[in-house]
Amino acid sequence: MKAARWVGLGQVVCEEVSLPSVADGEILIRTAYAAICGSDLHTVFLGTPPPDGSAGYLGHESVGEVVESRCAEFEPGDRVLTVPQAAVGRCLAEYQALPGSACIALPSEPPLEHLLMAQQLGTVVYALRAHPLDIAGQDVAVIGQGSAGAFFTFLLKRSGAARVLVSDKSPARLAYARTLGADLAVDARADDFRAAVLAATAGHGAGVVVEAVGSRETFPLSLELAASGATIVWFGLPEGTGDYPFSFHEFFRRRLTAHCVFGAQGEPGLESFRYAVRLIEDAAIDVAPLLSHMLPIEDVGDAFRIAQERTDNALKVSIKF
């Protein structure tokens, strides 16, 4: 089978490898589509490649069809969403063997490529369930409108936010954010998001701030956008292992609260992912614009480059098999 292999800093190649074996409790899935997550980009462009050069090392967002089952909950022919822990994901491969507990049965409609977006959407649903927020009537600021940031925009607006104020450096992402309910979409390449949020809120700042990028550049901004007594959600994956700048004095004096949220794959019953599937199945959210770039597995290196550089109006870069 064909599988992605991470061979060096910023380098991913497609290689021929053996099919995985299937253990008790596992299912063998023929992958139809897989998506590149921000955590994959952090791994490839900021991490150290594994010394054993493990094939199929990358990827944890995918959909496909069961071809062999040693798990009572699934049968050959079932459509599934895979939600393995990122550290053990092997989704960028034509076939993958996963525990049945890391998969969710999918309905016959809509198309699989649409349901692929339920993986990222489910992580955002989980973030808002893990630490419930009083959203109704609040002004909310979301830094970053990649797929995670866009899903925060959708869910926060749906939860009754008065206004959702967002920023990104991609015009295509900002345009999508507007369709999901963003009331103000600021191009961070040209405009000052802090000034825009303060102007929109009469100088008070936002009652809820979501940092959905994780970079050292945007992290301090999450405090600057927050009103006194606000809640901050730090969702973006940190860059590397170094310390981030942080003013505890500001955090303390302004009585802020912050949550770091990850680990949706460990949620009992995977209920957040199931809810995400229902949102897409019921057409509550239009995820079609996120299918902006769908490349074959043979071009996985180009796919990672496009996702990292955000070229050609890329919203979400995915792989097809």
Tell me: the pLDDT tens digits for 260-278? 998 999 999 999 999 999 9
Tell me: the pLDDT tens digits for 130-158? 999 989 999 999 999 999 999 999 999 99
The pTM of the whole model exceeds 0.85? yes
To the question of domain 2-120+266-320 being in CATH 3.90.180.10, the answer is yes
Closest CA to 70 of 117, 29, 36, 104: 29
Superfamily of domain 132-260: NAD(P)-binding Rossmann-like Domain (3.40.50.720)
Tell me: the pLDDT tens digits for 235-245? 999 988 889 98
Q: What is the share, in percent, of the chain residues with pLDDT greater than 70?
A: 98
Contacts by residues 194-199 (CB-CB < 8 Å, ≥ 24 positions apart): 194/221, 194/224, 194/225, 196/165, 196/167, 197/141, 197/165, 197/225
- pLDDT of 286 reads 97
Tell me: the pLDDT tens digits for 6-43? 988 899 999 999 999 999 999 999 999 999 998 899 88
How far apart are the C-alpha atoms of 317 and 308, rounded to whole Å?
Answer: 10
Check residues 312 and 113 and name the one with the higher pLDDT: 113
SS in 3 state form for 106-174? CCCCCCHHHHCCHHHHHHHHHHHHHCCCCCCCCEEEEECCCHHHHHHHHHHHHCCCCEEEEEECCHHHH
Domain boundaries, the chain: 2-120+266-320, 132-260
Pair 159, 279: CB distance under 8 Å: no
